[in-house]
């Protein structure tokens, strides 16, 4: 950590600052870690500004604005102290480059990607403007690109749309000239939401050309006053903007704010540009997979595709579909872990809200192999749009017959659905009395549902939605299991009764270690710790619902295959499974692709390593792995599904479908493997040979996010509940 006045900064609040991520003129961003291992991005105000009353007023406003805004493409605030010495702000940590860095290092974005980014930025502005906030500094350096979409950051000069004065010095221009709107340059009186729309147009133009549409490409960034003059008096230079995006950019860059499109209109323009540019090739309906024999390989015995050498799948699923459920990822996120990295003071989040191309007509061709009949297309028993404003996550809760618990973080709703009819049984909102969204997280399991919002965590009865208890929201992460609420507190974990929110037990973490994750297993709660120094030496302890150890000591460390454990992917037959892959240079970074499964037997405990089939499939990026009945089922993100023996990696079958990119999580039910694609189509593959058994989809397809994050199919009794990426739920009866 270097820079003027920075050498003494090693800790702020309760966070150790591990390394510098980036810096701006007035602040430095560090990777921070809490006492229990939670990673955050911490913006620390430079000493020379810490005594400036005007700057501190702006920083307080930045903190207030960042706390208010939540949504698909903004970053949640974790903690802050604008009155501290020095003042600081901490948000979720996620790896990614800024748009400015991406274009600098790799050149302009392809048109399809730029079209998606345009839609994502429009969604972000929608969420920002809903809180009565105008960002005022949307520019490439304040747009972060994660693997799952763009994020808008830095509310340092944002202001209320109803503000009567601006926190600036007389004569000081606030903003970045190349991406400012004419009204910003002429005076603040007409600054409003349309100002951010103008900036969006300039940012999209930059994404595909490498410079502002008001700059000379040869002197981009070198003549700010000439650029400012051009913004006010000249038309933008759009010849280099590809035709698919030119209409969107041109309409956003109209001089008169009243002539620009609204944010909902920008979303429509982005979707149209996405479709016309082929931004996201439509996922054709699943073709019947080509079930091919495994290629001859001395290390992998050849197995006929129609006669897999795998244990017979169970008649019914033995375990509820599992997902990574760690304290570091609070809320009802269905699948991928998320984090933020930074340029300038980049603080990131997740999820794409691009509503994509694709129309309501179905051009798929469900063709079965020669000599077999076409797969069945099932009709939903019911369909329901809970109208939560976007991404919806659902899971089975309560007794075996239901209900279905769902949460939509975009609108801050939790609700339950009747499995028989799809009717909403009860719901609660995280929207405050002032209309602001205050959502922090939600979980629902067993007899209780929890909603954290506005600094309070509330417990509700799953049966009827009656409020049971309230308590201050946990400062750090928390995890709800069917029997206990686990909360990070101090240097360990506290176990609470979910219905009363009262403490029932605790677990201390030995000195020199941090908690990295906590997982809900059939046998108890599995706690994952890691050494404070170097973030290595991962080990585990199984405890009961009061934090009492069920093992005599922390388990032996996983086998050393030169790999780093990355993702818990569920348990099966008393074994917990973790994906592992080549360790990145930065031990705090996620593994880019998985090469093996590390298996922890819960009764011993002992570890074994099983190589994943294939050559470096990106299971941690687009793919998924699940286990049932001693068999692993893996999707590689490129259309290939593989079944393999969980104990030794022997491949049983491989199946190819005409698809790529993200799917929902994988669910085993009876004799089929279930998943949904970004268009909401539910597909069932035969567990025995990988052939396509049947498909289903709602009557009206609403394109949603192609980036993953929606729920895996949920099974209750003999009915499957599919959750689409656009927030629709529908039910299908499992065929005999």
DSSP letters, 200-230, are HHHHHHHHHHSS-TTS-GGGTTT-HHHHHHH
Tell whether omega for the bond before 529 is within 30 degrees of 0, i.e. cis: no
What is the pLDDT at residue 119?
Answer: 92
- Percentage of the chain modeled with pLDDT above 70: 70
Average pLDDT over residues 289-293: 36
What does CATH list as the number for 11-92?
Answer: 3.30.200.20
Q: Catalogue the active-site residues.
A: 137
Least confident of 253-267, 578-592, 722-736: 578-592
Model confidence, pTM: 0.56
Comma-separated ranges of CATH 1.10.510.10 domains in the chain: 97-276
Q: Quick check: 706 and 678 in contact, CB under 8 A?
A: yes
Contact 156, 167 (CB under 8 A): no
CB 480 within 8 A of CB 445: yes
Rounded to 10°, the helix 99-106/193-209 angle is 20
Mean pLDDT throughout 664-692? 92
- Among 141-150, 353-362, 494-503, the range of highest mean pLDDT: 494-503
pLDDT at site 538: 81
Residue 726: per-residue pLDDT: 76
Going by pLDDT thresholds of 50, 70 and 90, the confidence category of residue 399 is: low
Mean pLDDT of all residues in 709-735: 88
DSSP letter assigned to residue 258? G
Q: Give per-residue pLDDT as tens, 594-641.
A: 888 999 999 989 999 998 886 444 566 567 899 999 999 998 877 889
Range of lowest pLDDT (243-257, 317-331, 390-404, 566-580)? 317-331
User: Rounded to an integer, what distance in angstroms lies between the CA atom of residue 343 and that of residue 28?
Assistant: 10
d(CA 501, CA 459): 8
Q: What pLDDT does residue 647 have?
A: 93
By three-state DSSP, how is residue 669 classified?
Answer: strand
Nearest to 234 by CA among 172, 182, 179: 182
The pLDDT of residue 8 is above 60: no
**Widest Cα–Cα separation across the chain:** 80
pLDDT at 308 over 80: no
Q: Copy the structure tokens of residue 407.
A: 């949460």
- CB within 8 A of 130, min separation 6: which ones? 437
Under 8 Å between Cβ of 286 and 692 = yes
Closest to 599 (Cα-Cα) out of 567, 577, 626: 577
Measured distance CA(598)–CA(602) in Å, rounded: 13
pLDDT at position 706: 54
Mean of the pLDDT values across residues 294-308? 32
Quote the percentage of the chain above a pLDDT of 90: 31
CA proximity to 439, closest of 429, 449, 448: 429
pLDDT by residue (tens digit) across 692-705?
999 998 887 665 55
Question: Which of 395-409, 566-580, 646-660, 681-695 comes out lowest in average pLDDT?
Answer: 395-409
In this structure, are residues 136 and 128 in contact, taking their beta carbons and an 8 Å threshold?
no
Whether 610 and 596 have beta carbons less than 8 Å apart is answered as: yes
User: pLDDT (tens digit, 9 = 90+) per residue, 166-184?
Assistant: 333 323 334 467 888 998 8
Q: How many C-alpha atoms does 169 have within 13 Å on its Cβ side?
A: 6
Strand partners, 444: 449
Residue 404 has pLDDT above 90, yes or no: yes
> Residue 696's pLDDT is what?
94
Query: Per-residue confidence at 672, pLDDT binned at 50, 70, 90?
Result: very high
Query: What are the residues facing 718 on neighbouring strands?
Result: none
Q: In this model, does residue 86 exceed pLDDT 50?
A: yes
- Fill in the DSSP letter of residue 22: E
Q: What's the pLDDT score for residue 526?
A: 94
In the structure, what pLDDT confidence band is assigned to residue 714 with cuts at 50, 70 and 90?
A: very high
| Cα dihedral: 90, 96, 98, 102 (round 10) | 170
* C-alpha pair distances (Å), 24 with each of 27, 29, 264: 5, 8, 32
Q: Of 96-105, 154-163, 267-276, 711-720, where does mean pLDDT reach its minimum?
A: 154-163
The CA-CA-CA angle for residues 161, 207, 100, to 5°, reads: 80
Question: Where does the pLDDT of residue 388 fall: very low under 50, low under 70, confident under 90, or very high at 90 and above?
Answer: low
User: Measuring CA to CA, which residue among 579, 511, 572, 523 is closest to residue 551?
Assistant: 523
User: Which three-class secondary structure state does DSSP give residue 123?
Assistant: helix
Residue 139: how many CB atoms within 10 A of its CB? 23
pLDDT digits (tens, 9 = 90+) for 450-459: 998 878 899 9
Q: Is the pLDDT of residue 142 over 80?
A: yes
Q: Is the pLDDT of residue 447 over 60?
A: yes
Q: Which residues contact 573 (CB under 8 A, 6 or more apart)?
A: 318, 629, 630
Residue 295 scores a pLDDT above 50: no
With contact defined as beta carbons under 8 Å apart, do 604 and 289 qualify?
no
More confident residue, 125 or 397: 125
Between CA 560 and CA 583 the distance in angstroms is 11
Cα first-last separation, the chain? 63
Q: What span, in angstroms and rounded, lies between the C-alpha atoms of 639 and 302?
A: 21
Provide the β-strand partners of residue 606.
601
Into which CATH architecture does domain 290-733 fall?
A: 7 Propeller (2.130)
| pLDDT tier at 512, thresholds 50, 70, 90 | confident
CATH 1.10.510.10 is the classification of domain 97-276: yes
Residue 434's pLDDT band, with cuts at 50, 70 and 90, is low
- Pairwise pLDDT comparison (557 vs 15), residue with the higher score: 15
**Sign (positive/negative) of CA torsion 245, 248, 250, 253?**
negative
Averaged pLDDT for residues 83-87: 83
Give CATH 3.30.200.20 domain extents, the chain.
11-92
Write down the number of H helices and E strands in the chain: 8, 44
CA dihedral 314, 317, 318, 322 (to 10 degrees): 140
Q: What is the overall mean pLDDT for the chain?
A: 75
State the span(s) of the chain assigned CATH 2.130.10.10: 290-733
């Amino acid at each position: 950590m270097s820079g003027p006045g920075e050498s003494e900064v090693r800790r702020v609040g309760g966070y150790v600052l591990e390394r510098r991520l980036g810096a701006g003129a007035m602040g430095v961003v560090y990777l921070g870690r809490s006492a229990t291992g939670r990673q955050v991005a911490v913006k620390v105000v430079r000493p020379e500004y810490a005594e400036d009353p005007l700057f501190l007023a702006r920083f307080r406003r930045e903190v207030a604005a960042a706390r208010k805004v939540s949504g698909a493409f903004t970053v949640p605030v974790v903690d802050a102290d604008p009155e501290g010495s020095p003042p600081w702000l901490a948000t979720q940590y996620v790896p990614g480059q800024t748009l400015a860095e991406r274009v600098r290092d790799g050149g302009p974005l392809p048109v399809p990607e730029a079209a998606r980014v345009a839609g994502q930025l429009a969604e972000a502005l929608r969420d920002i403007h809903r809180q009565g906030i105008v960002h005022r500094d949307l520019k490439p350096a304040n747009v972060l690109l994660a693997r799952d979409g763009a994020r808008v950051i830095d509310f340092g000069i944002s202001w209320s749309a109803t503000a009567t004065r601006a926190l600036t010095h007389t004569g000081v221009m606030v903003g970045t000239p190349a991406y400012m709107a004419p009204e910003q340059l002429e005076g603040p009186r007409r600054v409003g939401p349309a100002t951010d729309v103008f900036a969006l147009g300039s940012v999209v133009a930059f994404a595909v050309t490498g410079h502002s549409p008001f700059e000379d490409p040869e002197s981009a960034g070198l003549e700010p006053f000439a650029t400012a003059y051009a913004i006010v008096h000249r038309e933008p230079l759009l010849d280099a903007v590809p035709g698919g995006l030119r209409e969107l950019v041109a309409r956003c860059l109209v001089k008169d704010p009243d002539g620009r499109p609204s944010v909902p209109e920008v979303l429509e323009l982005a979707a149209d540009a996405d479709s016309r540019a082929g931004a996201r090739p439509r996922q054709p309906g699943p073709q019947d997979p080509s079930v091919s024999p495994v290629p001859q390989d001395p290390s992998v015995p050849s197995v006929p595709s129609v006669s897999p050498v795998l244990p017979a799948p169970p008649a019914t699923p033995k375990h509820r579909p599992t997902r990574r459920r760690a304290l570091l990822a609070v809320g009802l996120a269905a699948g991928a872990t998320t984090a933020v990295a930074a340029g300038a003071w980049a603080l990131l989040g997740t999820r794409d809200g691009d509503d994509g191309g694709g129309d309501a007509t179905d051009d798929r061709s469900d063709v079965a192999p020669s000599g077999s009949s076409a797969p069945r297309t099932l009709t939903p028993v019911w369909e329901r749009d809970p109208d939560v404003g976007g991404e919806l996550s659902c899971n089975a809760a309560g007794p075996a017959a239901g209900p279905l618990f769902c949460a939509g973080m975009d609108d801050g709703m939790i609700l339950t659905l009747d499995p028989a009819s799809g009717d909403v049984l009860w719901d609660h909102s995280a929207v405050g009395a002032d209309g602001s969204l205050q959502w922090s997280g939600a979980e629902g399991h067993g007899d209780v549902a929890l909603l954290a919002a506005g600094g309070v965590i509330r417990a509700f009865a799953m049966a009827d939605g009656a409020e049971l208890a309230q308590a201050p929201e946990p400062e750090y992460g928390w995890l709800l299991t069917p029997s206990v609420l686990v909360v990070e507190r101090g240097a360990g974990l506290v176990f609470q009764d979910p219905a009363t929110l009262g403490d029932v037990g605790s677990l201390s973490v030995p000195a020199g270690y941090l908690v990295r994750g906590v997982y809900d297993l059939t046998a108890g709660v599995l706690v994952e710790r890691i050494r404070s120094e170097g973030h290595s030496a991962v080990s585990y302890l199984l405890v009961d619902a009061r934090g009492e150890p069920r093992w005599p000591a922390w388990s032996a460390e996983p086998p050393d295959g030169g790999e780093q454990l990355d993702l818990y992917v569920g348990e099966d037959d008393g074994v917990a499974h973790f994906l592992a892959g080549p360790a990145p240079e930065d031990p705090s970074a996620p593994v880019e692709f998985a090469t093996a499964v590390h298996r922890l037997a819960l009764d011993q405990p002992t570890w074994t390593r099983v190589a994943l089939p294939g050559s470096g499939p990106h299971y941690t990026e687009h793919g998924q792995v699940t286990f049932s009945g001693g068999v692993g089922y893996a999707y590689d993100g490129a259309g290939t599904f593989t079944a393999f023996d969980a104990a030794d990696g022997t491949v049983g079958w491989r199946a190819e479908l005409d698809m790529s990119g993200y799917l929902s999580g994988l669910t085993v039910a009876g004799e089929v493997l279930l998943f949904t694609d970004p268009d909401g189509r539910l597909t069932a593959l035969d567990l025995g040979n990988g052939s396509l058994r049947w498909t289903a989809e709602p009557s009206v397809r609403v394109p949603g996010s192609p980036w993953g994050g929606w729920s895996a199919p949920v099974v209750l009794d003999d009915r499957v509940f599919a959750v689409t990426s656009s927030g629709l739920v529908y039910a299908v009866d499992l065929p005999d």
